[in-house]
Amino acid sequence: MANKFLFVLTAVLFSITAHAKESAVDNYKTYCVQCHGLKGNGNGVNVRDMSVQPRDHTDAKSMSGRSDEMLFKVIKEGGPSIDKSILMPPWGDTFSDDEIKDLVQHLRQLCKCKFGS
């Protein structure tokens, strides 16, 4: 009986996590690619006319220099919150904190990196 309960619980948790990742990918595709590029490498359709180029999210070297908290902050509050360009918009009105956390995890998948490595 307990085993069965654990199995169901695991299945439910698994589907919630799977869903969260899926929506972060969708959100990235909808809201971020026009600047950060379809592959996240910083060459979206907008860049030709931008005075500051968007971060290449696949660049492990610079992305590993940022903590998850900093990535969260710059997505939620925009470039100036971490002394970066105003051309990086704030997304706090668009996404919940959980959605922003999922976006941070998605960025970690794009760079295949962690803070400090």
Interface with ligand HEC by CB under 6 A: which residues? Answer: 31-32, 34-36, 46, 50, 52, 54-55, 66, 71, 74-75, 79, 84-85, 87-89, 91, 103, 107
Largest distance between two CA atoms of the chain: 62
Of 5 and 74, the one with the shorter C-beta distance to ligand HEC is 74
| Distance in angstroms (rounded) separating the CA atoms of residues 97 and 100 | 5
| Distance in angstroms (rounded) separating the CA atoms of residues 88 and 90 | 7
Task: Report, in Å, the least distance between residue 15 CB and ligand HEC.
Answer: 24
Task: Report, in Å, the least distance between residue 22 CB and ligand HEC.
Answer: 16
Opening angle at CA 45, ends 44 and 48, nearest 5 = 100
End-to-end CA distance of the chain: 44
Of 54 and 113, the one with the shorter C-beta distance to ligand HEC is 54
Of 75 and 113, the one with the shorter C-beta distance to ligand HEC is 75
Task: Report, in Å, the least distance between residue 75 CB and ligand HEC.
Answer: 5
Task: Report, in Å, the least distance between residue 13 CB and ligand HEC.
Answer: 25
CA atoms within 13 A on the CB side of 95: 27
